[in-house]
Amino acid sequence: MSRASIVSLFLVLLISSTAAFLVPAGSNHRHISIMDRMIRPVATLVTRPIVGLTVEAATKAVCRSSTSSISTNRFAASNANTNASNAAPCFDNANTLHGGIPIGAVQLGSSHVQPFRDLIDRTLRTSVQDKNSKIELSFRGVQPFVGPSNQLTNTGIDIAIDMGGQHGGHEHAHAHERLLLIHVPPAVATALDDGHPELTDFLKQNDGAYIPGLRRSRTHRRATRRKRFAQPHTLSKVQVQSKPNTNTNTDSKSNISLDFGKQQVQADPIFTFSELFAGIGGFRLGLEAIGGECVFANEIDPYAASIYRRNFVKSDSDCHLIEADILDICAKTDIPPDIDILTAGFPCQPFSTRGKQGGLSDERGQLYREIVRVLRHSRPKSFIFENVTGLVNMGEGGGGRFRGHGVAQARGEAGSVFKIILSAFEECGYNVTWNICNSRHYVAQQRERVYIVGVRNDLVREHTFSWDWYDQILQSSGRSDAGAISVLVRDIMDSPDSLAVSESELSPLQWAKLQETHSTRSGGIIKNTCIDIDAKAPTLISSYRRSGNLSSKYIFNERDRTEREIPRFLTPRECCRLMGFPEDYYVPSISIDGDTETAHFYAGIGNAVVPPVIASIGKEVVDYLRS
């Protein structure tokens, strides 16, 4: 049998087995502007076949990707091996039903890559960006394509010979250019899903193929480029505890708020949970303390992931943390299904009153849709999400401070942006409630955050999840300020002669700049920047120790009332105590870990959730599921 006959037979078999998969029957299409498409509710997503190709060419496009781009391994919840799917991206249902941010890849000859990039810049930059938006148009990655060529010629079909990646490409029977796989950003994927005429015509004219839903490998060099700057840590908690901790204050008075940290994790877990946007592990601390077992965690920031590993990971073999962009996570294969609780502290910058409040026009504001994708695929029994209170008030109709019981009453107080997000979670099949809780009832810090709780509809009882337990805390706090809630800043402070206190002092240059900045401000430097050690601390933020941050507060007096000549920052351990982190949680120091690691720790702790609050909410959720 001739080579042409063999290849023809191969194509016929391939077409018959994959054509239905590639071009779903009954696909609908209507043109929607890119920004409207990116911010509209996820239920309105439409189906779009591969751009500009015949069924035969589309089949070959997926054929080329199948050997290197479509992950088929399944997750074993009892013993997850997260390394198995690192090398292979996920083909995620062609952006139609998963509800997440649109994603995809384009296969194109190498000589057409730069013209394609230029076309994107000309046609999309003006249409998707405005002064309040932050939309990324750069390619998410470009890599050599591995698989059979799609070059059809008058003389036959060229067969690509895989050179094992030795030369980063292929050699062909005829002198055709190398094919590349281009992972496009969400804005470009959105445009191609909507049939953008200029982009579509370009692919048609240059024998290109768009594959919607194809996710980048987590090991792609562009996906891992930031990791080399952070120190990889795999220390266990036992190892950390055995180290002398010079940052720890042993004064018994400082432990008033830290009883939570002394709770022991139960030997036999009573429920399972997964973490999205895991940060440095605040959700994990809270849920492990009430008997939970973490079976999956995801975090993109390499410094936060390094801190996470240092405190939770005993060895690489039991690491449930996947350090990757959530856009590269395959919800079908990476995340275990039917776990008890899914947690997420999704990015707050687009909603915070301290920022520009770009909201859903900011790409980070769209990341809630990736949570929707995970909810639809993994179907957890419940979820607990956290964000800043600015999210509640954003958009038309916002401004209410606290929720009522149940979604209907809560919706009357939520702004339009929050309603969109709540509706997206509800449409995944969950009964959703929310509340604003203040951590001052647990720790020595004023920290209001909105918490969103969802219970899968098939598990909802006659009465929905209630926040009555928090109302009781508010009532109790109103009558008395005794017990654990009475902890103040003075109670969590380190010894004045500790190394951590010495390392936290402002430099002479910082002190001079601080004095200059506040010399003309009303109230003076003490009123504007001093932390009252006999009260609750103000809210910790991720930019707390960043130079030039006008909202940062400082320690001017030590716990023995000694007045400092030069004020200082809160130490890393003091920040942990303000957040309710346990005493055995490893914190870096400048002398041991360096300035960079310590600075990133401050950012991580400022972004974290308060574990005692999570423990309280988690206990109520678990009790509800058991009922």
Among all residues, which ones are annotated catalytic?
A: 348
- Cα–Cα distance for residue pair 437/447, rounded to 1 Å: 8
Tell me whether strands 179-184 and 104-109 are parallel, antiparallel or unpaired: antiparallel
- Cα–Cα distance for residue pair 450/403, rounded to 1 Å: 10
The contacts of residue 71 (CB under 8 Å, 6+ apart) are 85, 88, 89, 90, 91, 330, 332, 333
Q: What SS3 state is found at 156?
A: strand
- Cα–Cα distance for residue pair 25/42, rounded to 1 Å: 21
The radius of gyration of the chain from alpha carbons, rounded to an integer in Å, stands at 27
* Residue written as token pair 């009892």: 78
Identify whether the C-beta of residue 571 lies closer than 8 Å to the C-beta of residue 581. Answer: no
- Cα–Cα distance for residue pair 417/160, rounded to 1 Å: 50
Q: What SS3 state is found at 533?
A: coil
Give me the phi and psi of 590, to 5 degrees please.
Answer: -65, -40
Q: Is 186 exposed, middle or buried (0-12, 13-18, 19+ CB in 10 A)?
A: buried
- Taking CB atoms within 8 Å and a gap of at least 24, the contacts of 261-270 are 261/580, 261/581, 261/582, 261/583, 261/584, 261/585, 262/582, 262/583, 263/289, 265/289, 265/291, 266/291, 269/293, 270/622
Identify whether the C-beta of residue 584 lies closer than 8 Å to the C-beta of residue 241. Answer: yes
Helix or strand run (H / E) with residue 291: none
- Cα–Cα distance for residue pair 109/549, rounded to 1 Å: 48
Q: Is 130 exposed, middle or buried (0-12, 13-18, 19+ CB in 10 A)?
A: exposed
- Cα–Cα distance for residue pair 529/524, rounded to 1 Å: 9
Distances (CA, A) of 289 to 78, 140, 205, 332, 580: 20, 38, 59, 29, 12
Identify whether the C-beta of residue 325 lies closer than 8 Å to the C-beta of residue 305. Answer: no
- Cα–Cα distance for residue pair 159/32, rounded to 1 Å: 39
Q: What SS3 state is found at 159?
A: coil
Give 3-state DSSP helix, strand, coil % of the chain, rounded to 5. 40, 15, 45
- Cα–Cα distance for residue pair 437/357, rounded to 1 Å: 21
The contacts of residue 237 (CB under 8 Å, 6+ apart) are 311, 312, 314, 584
β-strand partners of 449: 388, 437
What distance lies between CA 199 and its chain's CA centroid?
30
* Residue written as token pair 């991580």: 604
Q: What is the length of the chain?
A: 627
Q: Letter for the amino acid at 344?
A: A
Identify whether the C-beta of residue 387 lies closer than 8 Å to the C-beta of residue 348. Answer: yes
- Cα–Cα distance for residue pair 587/576, rounded to 1 Å: 8
